[in-house]
Amino acid sequence: MLRENIPDLSTFVEPDRVRREVYTERAIFELEMERIHESVWIYCGHESQVPKVGDYFQVQVGRQPMLMVRGKDQRVRVLYNRCPHRGNMMCGDRNGNAGEFFRCSYHAWTFHHDGKLRSIPMMESGYAGTRFGHDNPECSMKPAARVESYRGFVFGSLAKDGPGLLEFLGASRVAFDDMCDRAPEGEVEIVPNCFRVIQHSNWKIFLENQLDALHPSVVHQSTGRAAHEVEKLIEKKTGSAPLSYHMLSAFATVTIDQWDNFQTLNYPYGHCILTGYMGLRPKDPDTLAYEAVMQKAYGKKRMEEIFGVNIHHVLIYPGLSVQSPLQQLRAVRPLGVDRTLTEIWHFRLKGAPEPIYRRSLAYYNLVNSPSTLINADDLENFWKCHQGLSSDGGDWVSFGRHFGRDLEKDGVVETQPNMGTSEAPMRNQMKAWTKYMAKA
Ligand code: FES
Ligand SMILES: [Fe+2]
């Protein structure tokens, strides 16, 4: 990459605004991949995606095609999806089972599930006296520099140095605690397929939208109003409407000023939490049956603590957006300066009754999937933002809402009461970005 093409990045970010080139310059994108996505902890997947020995799942970490694989020792590892012989991709399928070992489809070098070389055809006659063979680590599949998991969620880092996963996650680990604690068995299981959406916009535009509490009642108002009309009709006829209508009508019934009642908490490394109760404890028979199972598993006091966790959304910078109360997760995989893949996953609460899973599935389909207008309306804005930022119509992106009014305590930036629509999360993300990008 031509580093001389990159101007001094410190002049690109001010506390309340960012230059447009940060979203549109290819050279800056390449540097972001190197210094952010291929350096920090990136979510690879959930352990339940690879339940059996030899199971693998492809995952993109920064620009690197990787494989998450379960070994004979039950450990989940992350390896580069590349044969050390002549560079062939080891697994062409998105996921599958390697069998007893990986076998390259080109010249049949084989590898254990931990990536170590197992055999080369006619190795003795072909390689005796050469540098190639079992003793040379370059003849094995290369592992990610670091792999750690937290409550079944596997992260990889391609840099050998840096904070450990727990330190990196900090307070944002509540995303996984909240999700798992809501399961009577204390664990979740992934629904082993996801929606994949390619957004025609820079990866940061998606992340900045996740905790943007001002946009929902604008962007999603039309969908919310239509759903609310139907919800009212059903209520009139039957006395109550299914919770799934509420998932959509809330975009209209929670008005723009009410979003200010939410609060954001902004943490080191760019992570942020949006608080706000999601209305998940109606008194319907399904919820009551679930509460009974939870009370049996945890006792009343602990159950109330679990259900009382006040989270709407957790953003784990730079690649994960989690809605733990409804077991949803979106992973961001940047493909290019103006192309971003999002993987949209959801989970089952182990031990919870089936209707509670159906609730998660309803939210997945109605709010987060590519088939809903909620998602489509967001995507349209992301694309339009990228188009506008590619023009000469202005140099800056503004993050000035409630700037200077946030409260800072022990490194955590809290929005003040009735300032939930503050652009503090965007400022916090760019603060982390600036730190990462300044690394030598
Ligand atoms: S490229 Fe894999 S064995 Fe030759
Ligand atoms: Fe949205």
Which residue in 350, 375, 428, 343 sits closest to 171, CA to CA?
428
Among all ligands shown, which has an atom nearest to the Cα of 107? 1
**Are the C-beta atoms of 231 and 246 separated by less than 8 Å?**
yes
Q: Is the dihedral of CA 305, 310, 315, 320 positive or negative?
A: positive
CA distance to 146, 226, 257, 272, 433, per residue, from 165 (Å): 9, 43, 37, 16, 18
CA distance to 280, 378, 390, per residue, from 244 (Å): 11, 20, 38
Among all ligands shown, which has an atom nearest to the Cα of 104? 1
Interval between CA 421 and ligand 2 midpoint (Å): 13
**Ligand 1: does its nearest atom lie under 6 Å from the Cβ of 86?**
yes
**Are the C-beta atoms of 28 and 21 separated by less than 8 Å?**
yes
Among all ligands shown, which has an atom nearest to the Cα of 219? 2
**Ligand 1: does its nearest atom lie under 6 Å from the Cβ of 85?**
yes
**Ligand 1: does its nearest atom lie under 6 Å from the Cβ of 88?**
yes
Take residue 286 and report the two structure tokens written for it: 């399904």
**Ligand 1: does its nearest atom lie under 6 Å from the Cβ of 107?**
yes
CA distance to 163, 266, 312, 321, 375, per residue, from 419 (Å): 32, 13, 16, 21, 25
Q: Give the three-state DSSP class for 132.
A: coil
The rounded Cα 224 to chain-centroid distance in angstroms is: 25
* 120 CA closest ligand 1 atom index: 3
Helix or strand holding residue 407 (H, E): strand 407-409
Per-residue pLDDT of the chain (440 residues; tens, 9 = 90+): 445 566 678 889 999 999 999 999 999 999 999 999 999 999 999 999 999 999 999 999 999 999 999 999 999 999 999 999 999 999 999 999 999 999 999 999 999 999 999 999 999 999 999 999 999 999 999 999 999 999 999 999 999 999 999 999 999 999 999 999 999 999 999 999 999 999 999 999 999 999 999 999 899 999 999 999 999 999 999 998 888 898 999 889 888 888 888 899 999 999 999 998 677 788 889 999 999 999 999 999 999 999 999 999 999 999 999 999 999 999 999 999 999 999 999 999 999 999 999 999 999 999 999 999 999 999 999 999 999 999 999 999 999 999 999 999 888 999 998 999 999 999 999 999 999 998 75
Among all ligands shown, which has an atom nearest to the Cα of 373? 2
φ, ψ (nearest 5 deg) of residue 437: -75, -20
Please state the pTM of the whole predicted model.
0.95
Q: Within a 10 A sphere around the Cβ of 412, how many other Cβ atoms?
A: 16
Structure confidence at residue 243 (pLDDT): 84
Q: Within a 10 A sphere around the Cβ of 183, how many other Cβ atoms?
A: 22
Closest residue to atom 1 of ligand 1, CA basis: 86
Which residue in 154, 63, 107, 99 sits closest to 81, CA to CA?
63
Instruction: Name 306's Cβ contacts closer than 8 Å, sequence gap at least 6.
Output: 178, 181, 182, 294, 298
Take residue 220 and report the two structure tokens written for it: 């999603």
* 86 CA closest ligand 1 atom index: 1
Number of residues that this document lists for the chain: 440
User: Rounded distance, CA 273 to CA 266, Å?
Assistant: 7
User: Rounded distance, CA 440 to CA 437, Å?
Assistant: 8
CA distance to 70, 147, 250, 352, per residue, from 154 (Å): 12, 7, 33, 23
Interval between CA 226 and ligand 2 midpoint (Å): 16
User: Which of 79, 80, 85 to probe ligand 1 with, by most ligand atoms within 8 A of CB?
Assistant: 85
* 104 CA closest ligand 1 atom index: 2
DSSP E strands in 246-357: the ranges are 263-266, 272-275, 313-316, 320-323, 328-336, 339-349
Return the bridge partners of 190, or none. Answer: 347
Query: CB burial class (10 A; 0-12, 13-18, 19+) of residue 145?
Result: middle
**Ligand 1: does its nearest atom lie under 6 Å from the Cβ of 132?**
no
Helix or strand holding residue 232 (H, E): helix 221-238
Closest residue to atom 3 of ligand 1, CA basis: 107
Interval between CA 220 and ligand 2 midpoint (Å): 7
**Are the C-beta atoms of 110 and 91 separated by less than 8 Å?**
no
**Are the C-beta atoms of 286 and 355 separated by less than 8 Å?**
yes
Query: DSSP string spanning 30-79?
Result: HHHIIIIITTS-EEEEEGGGS-STTEEEEEEETTEEEEEEE-TTS-EEEE
* 90 CA closest ligand 1 atom index: 2
User: Rounded distance, CA 133 to CA 123, Å?
Assistant: 8
CA angle 421, 425, 426 (to 5 degrees): 105
